[in-house]
Amino acid sequence: MEELHKLFTPGSVAVVGASEKVGTVGRAILENLITTFKGEILPVNYKYDRILGLKCYRSVRDLPKAPDLAVIAVPASSTPEVVRDLCSLGVKFSIVISAGFKETGPDGARLEDELVSAARSCGMRILGPNCLGVYDPWSGLDTIFNPNDRQAKPGAGGVAFLSQSGALGAAILDWLAEAGIGLSKFVSYGNAADIKEWELVEYLAEDPRTTVIALYVEGVEDGRKFMESVRKAVAGGKPVVILKGGRTESGVKAVASHTGSLAGRGEVFSSAVRQAGAVAVDSLGDLINVLKLFARGEIPRGRRVGIVTNGGGAGVLSVDAVESVGLSLAKLEASTVENLRRALPAAASANNPVDILGDAPPERYVTAIEAVAKDPNVDSVIVITLMQSPAFDPKRFAELVKELRSQLEKPVVLVAPGGSYTMNHSKELEKELAIPYYRTPEEAVRALKLAVEWYERYRSIKG
């Protein structure tokens, strides 16, 4: 825990391969560090005296001190020599961005072995190679080489995301930022030549800033240690969500040429991580959707779902989705039904799903949401807003639901089907109310199902 903590909170960073040239990895890393990192930045490149206003050193051997972290972005063939030079200074952590190692075949594998041997000769730990490295919004460390005008990055929060793929990880960061999900840490670990994914999970299990752990993995070297690390995190009350690449025969072959990993059978891996207490998802959509719940602490304690809708058809689809995935439609207490009948128009449906009709103003929504959410037979609530109705005022809805939100102790999710008008207002509501937003009932129900399954496994592990 203490050792890996230094990887995320260095006081100084050397960028080996820093560059003035626009469009290069070395320049992008330096620009991103200058933007967010508060510690000392030490560019290294024999071509320059200064880069982006910073003094540049001709070689690692010319550095005035041992940086806490070195980010290496030079051709793969040069990396072992760079690491040996860093060792002579006493550097303890390096991130090797460079590709061209075991993912390329036997020659690359031998080069990777040489790189690791060079690091181990002095006790240095290496993240990568073939990776983007680390983004930590709490410390300001950012080694991602995508330009900030193309790469959105979430602010500080509780979700840690580990990705074996750098490019896919970067895209998921974009989605997380759009969904308003805050990060504790992002780690692209690539080939995992030295620091393994299970070590990172173990670290995050104890990290006080991390409340949820998500991973994209293609293969794990030590399945036993990986499952133990997952179980440890889950036992500590932290949801773990895993998306595995390489579940098919062709996918396994693609994995070998991507990160050089040995990908096991997808169904066996998924079964094992579920037994360890994790949520195994099959798609990027499910990954983002369930993280919306976990990041906001919206975890159902049971399978009974209440539905409030201003459109009958959307309510019917929600019921179908609920029962098709193994959740259940909550049976409302007689007192709840009677209260709703008195408060709603005669044409409305007071039974679950509660249809408050297409002319429902925000005030009617609040009445129905409060009644359904406070019913003892309800574990979670789906609120469907068909915003095409002229009676629906998004701003007024936000004002009223915000007052109600603090009184509700159960997960509430928003389903809002529609185009740009609906999407724009729904994203604003998601941000302002801290309520997860989904475009379809099926997305919302699937996320609720995955979340409640995690809770059931957590309770089982805790005994």
- What's the rounded Cα separation, in Å, for the pair 142 and 86? 20
Is residue 138 a part of any domain in this protein? no
- Residue 357 in any domain: the answer is yes
- pLDDT for 406 equals 86
158 and 173 share one domain: yes
Give pLDDT tens digits for 258-313: 455 544 567 889 999 999 999 999 999 999 999 999 999 999 999 999 999 999 99
Instruction: Report the 10 Å Cβ neighbour count for 361.
Output: 16
**Domain membership of residue 399 as a residue range:** 297-462
Last residue of a domain, one of 102, 131, 160: 131
Asked if residue 184 is part of any domain, the answer here is: yes
- The answer as to whether 291 is a domain residue is yes
Query: Is the domain of 308 the same as that of 440?
Result: yes
pLDDT at 268: 87
Is residue 339 located within the same domain as residue 451?
yes
| pLDDT at residue number 2 | 74
Cβ atoms of residues 441 and 415 within 8 Å: yes
Same domain, 275 and 393: no
- Quick one: 161 and 291 in the same domain? yes
pLDDT of residue 258: 45
Q: What percent of the chain is modeled with pLDDT above 70?
A: 95
Q: How far apart are the first and last CA of the chain?
A: 26
* Gap between the Cα atoms of 161 and 210, Å rounded: 10
Tell me, what's the pLDDT at 26? 96
Q: In this structure, are residues 385 and 379 in contact, taking their beta carbons and an 8 Å threshold?
A: no
SS3 track for 70-117: EEECCCHHHHHHHHHHHHHHCCCEEEECCCCCHHHCHHHHHHHHHHHH
Q: Are residues 270 and 125 in the same domain?
A: no
CATH number assigned to the domain comprising residue 44:
3.40.50.720
Same domain assignment for residues 291 and 323: no
428 CB-contact burial (10 Å; exposed 0-12 / middle 13-18 / buried 19+): middle
Query: What share of the chain in percent tops pLDDT 90?
Result: 90
Domain count, the chain: 3
Q: 320 and 255, same structural domain? A: no
**145 within domain boundaries:** no
Q: Domain end: 295, 328, 344, which one?
A: 295
The answer to whether the pTM exceeds 0.85 is yes
The verdict on 182 and 331 lying in the same domain is: no
Q: Is residue 449 part of a domain?
A: yes
Q: Assign residue 320 the CATH number of its domain.
A: 3.40.50.261
Element (H, E) at 432: helix 420-433
Q: Establish if 139 belongs to a structural domain.
A: no
Residue 75 CB neighbours (<10 A): 10
- 99 and 34, same domain (yes or no): yes
Mean pLDDT by 10 residues, the chain (463 residues): 89 97 95 96 97 97 97 97 97 97 96 97 96 97 92 96 95 92 97 97 97 96 95 96 77 52 68 95 95 96 98 97 98 98 97 98 97 98 97 97 92 97 96 95 98 95 81
Pair (272, 388) in one structural domain: no
Residue 252's pLDDT is 54
Measure the CA angle with vertex 390, ends 387 and 391; round to 5°.
90
Final residue of a structural domain among 295, 330, 345: 295
**Pair (331, 275) in one structural domain:** no
**H helix or E strand, kind and range, residue 322:** helix 312-324
Cβ–Cβ < 8 Å for 293, 443: no
Whether 137 is in a domain gets the answer no
CA dist 119 and 416 (Å) reads: 52
